[in-house]
């Protein structure tokens, strides 16, 4: 079946504008994760969904960041009033078997966000 997809693949925006990033997980995957990866850096956890609920929002950098998931499927990460430090690649991943340790994630191709 299809893998994780993300859109747009690239987004260039002006400082102060709002952006929405979309993630379509693998069908049937109950867990969905958002990460941020700055250039040359590792993955920074943002938020995790189990179904449509987000039990862990601890990674969201500020209240300008929010995310939702509907239908236990698509998720949207919204960044309000973007700032230059928000420039990064935003990766989405989905997984199943969250109650077990053997729970590999499958990643999307990412959205590269550039804030001018």
Partner 1 sequence: AQKITQTQPGMFVQEKEAVTLDCTYDTSDQSYGLFWYKQPSSGEMIFLIYQGSYDEQNATEGRYSLNFQKARKSANLVISASQLGDSAMYFCAIFPPSGTYKYIFGTGTRLKVLA
Q: Are 9 and 108 in contact (CB under 8 A)?
A: no
Beta strands in the chain (DSSP E): 5-7, 10-13, 19-24, 31-37, 44-50, 53-56, 65-69, 75-79, 88-95, 106-107, 111-115
User: Which of 34, 48, 65, 90 is close enough to bind partner 1 by CB under 8 A?
Assistant: 48
User: Which of 1, 39, 85, 101 is close enough to bind partner 1 by CB under 8 A?
Assistant: 101
Quick check: 90 binds partner 1 (CB under 8 A)? no
* Site for partner 1, residues 1 to 20, rule: CB under 8 A: none
User: Which of 21, 32, 91, 115 is close enough to bind partner 1 by CB under 8 A?
Assistant: 91
Binding residues for partner 1, per CB under 8 A? 31, 33, 41-43, 45, 48, 50, 55-56, 58-59, 89, 91, 93, 98-110, 112
């Amino acid at each position: 079946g299809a893998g994780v997809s993300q859109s747009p693949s690239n987004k260039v925006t002006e400082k102060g504008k709002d952006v929405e990033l979309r993630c379509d997980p693998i069908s049937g995957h109950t867990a969905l994760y958002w990460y941020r990866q700055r250039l040359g850096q590792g993955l920074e956890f943002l938020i995790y969904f189990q179904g449509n609920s987000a039990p862990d929002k601890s990674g969201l950098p500020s209240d300008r960041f929010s995310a939702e998931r509907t239908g236990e499927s698509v998720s949207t990460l919204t960044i309000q009033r973007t700032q230059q430090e928000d420039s990064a690649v935003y990766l989405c991943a989905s997984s199943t078997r969250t109650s077990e340790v053997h729970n590999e994630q499958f990643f999307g191709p990412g959205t590269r966000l550039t804030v001018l």
